[in-house]
Amino acid sequence: MSEKTADTIAITGAFSYTGKYATRLLLNRGYKIRTLTYHVDRNNPFGDKVQAFPFDFDHPDRLIQTLRGASTLINTYWVRFARGKTTFETAVQNTRTLISAAKEAGVSRIVHVSIANPSAESPLSYYQGKAHLERAVIDSGLSYTILRPTVIFGLEDILINNIAWFIRHLPVFGIPGDGRYSIRPIYVEDMARLIVDAVDQPGNTICDAVGPETFSFEELVKLIAAQLGRPARLVHLPMPLAYVATFVTGWFVRDVVLTWEEYQGLMGNLLAPEGPATGQTRLSDWLAENHDHVGRRYASEVARHYAGSSQNRPTVR
Ligand SMILES: NC(=O)c1ccc[n+]([C@@H]2O[C@H](COP(=O)([O-])OP(=O)(O)OC[C@H]3O[C@@H](n4cnc5c(N)ncnc54)[C@H](OP(=O)(O)O)[C@@H]3O)[C@@H](O)[C@H]2O)c1
């Protein structure tokens, strides 16, 4: 093993979604891994190859201790929506604390996962918060790669999987508005490769993480329905009505299905930046291979991050 591949990498969320795929690849490439998580006791698929430490945002000294000796921090930490004490503002503050702790601990590089089309002027808190954090990464003085994904698809993904789940379970599918706005998803293993390749890249880069195919939302729903062998019975709904429908559905599935901001981002074409593809896997091919599995189980964001919490914040399970 070369000296370089024995580096220690700190990564957030190794037991969660994107972080799990990146961790698998990092281990294959010989890195030593530490993870930061709210779920240190969650089922650890990597055994003793991955050491888990809590997100000690309230104790930066402990965060520094956790990060000391790591050469790179890979940061996937973020929240999809505000809930209870967790807000976009606290997520921004926590991430700033993490970046400062990394610098204090002697970490030299950060690979930061952002979002396509972040903007400090955006009225959408998700996109605005992500833009502020890109600025914090750039200003940190650490060398960096910032990756800007759109929707990251894979078996545990929320959006594509849950569209499939709704198509399997409901007689009609509601398309918000005209359905012509675009979406350009990237496969989770391609995303993981971009993250892990960035560990060794020199200098500072900002890069969209996008797949080779762009669909209108309506095309995407029709494609999923066709792969599932279900009739695509679509009904176009004004966006506020579609939002209310998903809000109510959320009570039944005990989740937040899609937020008002996510509707705005989707329908505002923020999920389909132009430019060269950085992921190779075609969603249409992946769906053809995985049509038996996709949408079999509803993927709940609330169950993933808030289950068992009486305080509306993630707890250690
Ligand atoms: N998934 C997508 O389609 C998508 C699209 C665009 C951008 N992104 C960005 O890609 C990154 C990874 O996304 P992902 O979907 O793979 O995330 P994830 O694995 O579900 O979570 C990533 C990290 O954030 C923490 N986290 C997530 N929700 C949280 C909450 N409500 N409260 C506290 N901590 C929370 C997780 O904590 P635990 O370790 O305790 O689980 C984990 O460490 C994020 O920065 C996201 O903004 C994702």
Q: Give pLDDT tens digits for 183-206.
A: 999 999 999 999 999 999 999 999
- Is the pLDDT at 4 greater than 90? The verdict is no
CB contact burial 210-235 (16+ within 10 A = b; e otherwise): bbbbbbbbbebbbbbbbbbebebebe
Q: Looking at residue 5, what is its pLDDT?
A: 46
Please name the residue that has the structure tokens 């060269």: 276
- Name the residue with higher pLDDT: 316 or 284: 284
Instruction: List, for residues 157-171, the tens digit of each pLDDT value.
Output: 999 999 999 999 999
* CB-ligand 1 contact for 152 (6 Å cutoff): yes
State which H helix or E strand residue 174 sits in: strand 173-176
Q: Looking at residue 12, what is its pLDDT?
A: 98
Q: Side-chain half-sphere of 99: how many Cα atoms within 13 Å?
A: 25
* CB-ligand 1 contact for 79 (6 Å cutoff): yes
**All CATH 3.40.50.720 domain ranges in the chain, comma separated:** 4-149
Average pLDDT over residues 108-124: 98
* CB-ligand 1 contact for 192 (6 Å cutoff): no
Please name the residue that has the structure tokens 């590089």: 109
Pairing type for strands 215-216 and 182-183 reads antiparallel
Which band of pLDDT confidence, cut at 50, 70 and 90, is reported for residue 255? very high
- Is the pLDDT at 309 greater than 80? The verdict is no
**All CATH 3.90.25 domain ranges in the chain, comma separated:** 159-182+213-304
CA of 236 to the centre of ligand 1 (A): 30
- Is the pLDDT at 3 greater than 90? The verdict is no
Top CATH class of 159-182+213-304 equals alpha beta
Amino acid type, 52: A
- Distance from C-alpha of 317 to C-alpha of 314, rounded to nearest angstrom: 9
- Distance from C-alpha of 94 to C-alpha of 133, rounded to nearest angstrom: 10
Structure tokens at 35: 């993870």
Which band of pLDDT confidence, cut at 50, 70 and 90, is reported for residue 43? confident
Tell me which of 1-10, 14-23, 36-45 is least confident.
1-10
- Is the pLDDT at 100 greater than 60? The verdict is yes
Average pLDDT over residues 87-94: 97
Average pLDDT over residues 91-107: 98
Q: What is the DSSP string of 85-153?
A: TB-HHHHHHHHHHHHHHHHHHT--EEEEE--SS--TT-SSHHHHHHHHHHHHHHHT-SEEEEEEES-EE
Please give the CATH topology (third level) of the domain spanning 4-149.
Rossmann fold (3.40.50)
Mean pLDDT of the chain: 94
Whose CA is closest to 142, among 166, 112, 165? 112
Percent of the chain with pLDDT over 90: 92
Q: How many residues are listed for the chain in this entry? A: 317
Nearest protein CA to atom 23 of ligand 1, as residue: 77
Instruction: List, for residues 210-223, the tens digit of each pLDDT value.
Output: 999 999 999 999 99
Pairing type for strands 143-149 and 205-209 reads parallel
Best probe residue, ligand 1, of 20, 24, 38, 87 (max atoms within 8 Å of C-beta): 38
3-class DSSP state for residue 152?
A: strand
Which band of pLDDT confidence, cut at 50, 70 and 90, is reported for residue 232? confident
Average pLDDT over residues 278-284: 98
CA of 233 to the centre of ligand 1 (A): 32
